[in-house]
Amino acid sequence: MFTIYRIQSSIFHLLVRSLVLTCLVEIASSGFTSTFIRSQCPSTDIPLDSVEFAIPKGYNAPQQVHITQGDYDGRAVLVSWVTMVEPGSSEVLYGTLKDNYDLSAQGTFTNYTFYNYSSGYIHHCLLSGLEYNRKYYYKIGKGSSVREFWFITPPEVDIDAPYTFGIIGDLGQTYNSLSTLEHYMKSGGQTVLFVGDLSYADQYQYNDGSRWDSWGRLVERSTAYQPWIWSAGNHEIEYRPDLGEVFPFKAFLHRYATPHVASKSSSPLWYAVRRASAHIIVLSSYSPFVKYTPQWLWLLEELKQVDREKTPWLIVLMHAPLYNSNEAHYMEGESMRAAFEGWFVRLKVDVVFAGHVHAYERSYRISNINYNITSGTRYPLPDKSAPVYITVGDGGNQEGLASRFLDPQPEYSAFREASYGHSILELKNRTHAFYHWIRNDDGKSVPAEHVVFRNQYWASNGRRRRLRKNNLSHLMSQTASY
């Protein structure tokens, strides 16, 4: 009996604490600039011959192994890897029992050159028709160079399916990057939402492709075992007409495949997936997105597919933040804000995650959709229908931290701090999610802020009724006919 009382008491305290935190998100009106001063470490890349970039043993052994979701709903996994000497096999053997690979899939390989760099053989293999919520073992390579890994498929798309996402951005390949990665791997995250800027290979002479290879080996410790949902940043563009390289995103597109066809996208740079209780929309900040462009048209159609009765959590990923109060890259996302913010508010997007700015920041729920150059308040206003905007560009790359914030802190900014780290989003059910940002703190993993998100659709009857009444397709066609 006493035990039951203690459990009830604990639940009550948890609920009270959640309510307080929720209130902080929903009604707090003054932001917080963290006074934490991080001692500066050199932001230099790990040397190429370091153990962190170790090449796996064996002739032509597969390296840089990474997986991502391979379809719309989480029943497929796309496995990618690189062989350096010769193509070798593009086959993946897999199964649900260790050492019993009773299934197989045949992939393909590609390669590319970038000025004076020639890539290895980049393999992509789709494993489809997987069971939900199962652990699969897989192996790639030949003879003594075979390598074995595993992954766990997500639960079936369901309104209350709990799931934990990590959010990482602007990672690079310094010791700070490694620290972020190692902290994330201890966090319980099941899938990474990556908000762009992967290797920073473009910081080297001739965009040295061997830094793409070293980055692939650095992150393999996580990317081989759980999906990373990729979005592209400015460091992936690699437009170098002076070197004769005029196809943007060349290395990224060859190396990091995405399931764009499953969401009827014409480009791997923008697409959507559904995973557990989340509908995740990936946008490209550096591809055309104004009205009538392929990305704009695709987003218009994809938003009509969102069904909050199946996937209550609507999450958008992009690289350049739409709201951020750092001096670095200030307003670089403004044109995309003008293009898409109205849709995000009308469809009650829960969270927009971005990177690019090398510091952490979270906004209140605000919007600026009523200002149209000639009328309206030229300033974001509190708006319960608006997303929370979170910048997680603090993975730890060689460019260092963006430590100069606008002063005073704008009213739309809830929390900001120039430290390295990553975020965790725990979807608990259709109504609530726990969110944390974890600061690296010079090697230690330190939780720096926690908030509870109430779902924008399910946590408010009034808003849900309005969304239903307005019928999403009708709403979007109205939007399209501006």
**Which residues form the catalytic set?**
329
Please give the DSSP secondary-structure letter assigned to residue 310: T
**Residue of the chain from 123, 348, 356, 430 that contacts Fe ion (CB under 5 A):** 356
CA distance 300 to 201: 34
**What tokens appear for 441 in the block?**
């703190």
Q: Does 234 bind Fe ion (CB under 5 A)?
A: yes
Which range touches Fe ion (CB under 5 A), out of 30-38, 177-185, 229-237, 361-369? Answer: 229-237
Q: Please count the residues of this chain forming the interface with Fe ion, following the rule CB under 5 A.
A: 4
Provide the pairing of β-strand 228-229 with 91-95.
unpaired
Comparing every residue's Cβ against Fe ion, the nearest one is: 356
Which range touches Fe ion (CB under 5 A), out of 214-222, 234-242, 339-347, 454-462? Answer: 234-242
Q: Whole-number minimum distance, CB 200 to Fe ion, in Å?
A: 9
**What tokens appear for 130 in the block?**
């997987």
Please, is 205 exposed, middle or buried when counting C-beta atoms within 10 Å of its C-beta (0-12, 13-18, 19+)? exposed
What string of DSSP letters covers 133-199? T-EEEEEES-GGG-EEEEEEPPPPS-TT--EEEEEE-S--SBHHHHHHHHHHHTTT-SEEEE-S---
Binding mask 313-352 for Fe ion (x = CB under 5 A): ----------------------------------------
Q: Whole-number minimum distance, CB 421 to Fe ion, in Å?
A: 17
Which range touches Fe ion (CB under 5 A), out of 84-92, 356-364, 379-387, 397-405? Answer: 356-364
CA distance 47 to 51: 9
Binding mask 118-157 for Fe ion (x = CB under 5 A): ----------------------------------------
Q: Does 231 bind Fe ion (CB under 5 A)?
A: no
**Residue of the chain from 141, 233, 333, 395 that contacts Fe ion (CB under 5 A):** 233
Q: Which residue is it, tokens 């490209």? A: 284
Q: Does 71 bind Fe ion (CB under 5 A)?
A: no
CA distance 482 to 476: 10
Spell out the residues 6+ positions from residue 135 whose beta carbon is closer than 8 angstroms to its own: 96, 150, 151, 152
Q: Are 459 and 452 in contact (CB under 8 A)?
A: no
Q: Does 395 bind Fe ion (CB under 5 A)?
A: no
Q: Whole-number minimum distance, CB 424 to Fe ion, in Å?
A: 22
Q: 123 vs 235, which CB is nearer to Fe ion?
A: 235
CA distance 114 to 112: 7
Q: 197 vs 426, which CB is nearer to Fe ion?
A: 197
Q: Whole-number minimum distance, CB 330 to Fe ion, in Å?
A: 13
Q: Does 197 bind Fe ion (CB under 5 A)?
A: yes
Question: How far is residue 406 CA from its own chain's centroid?
Answer: 26
399-428: which residues touch Fe ion (CB under 5 A)?
Answer: none
Q: Whole-number minimum distance, CB 181 to Fe ion, in Å?
A: 18
Contact residues: Fe ion, CB under 5 A: 197, 233-234, 356
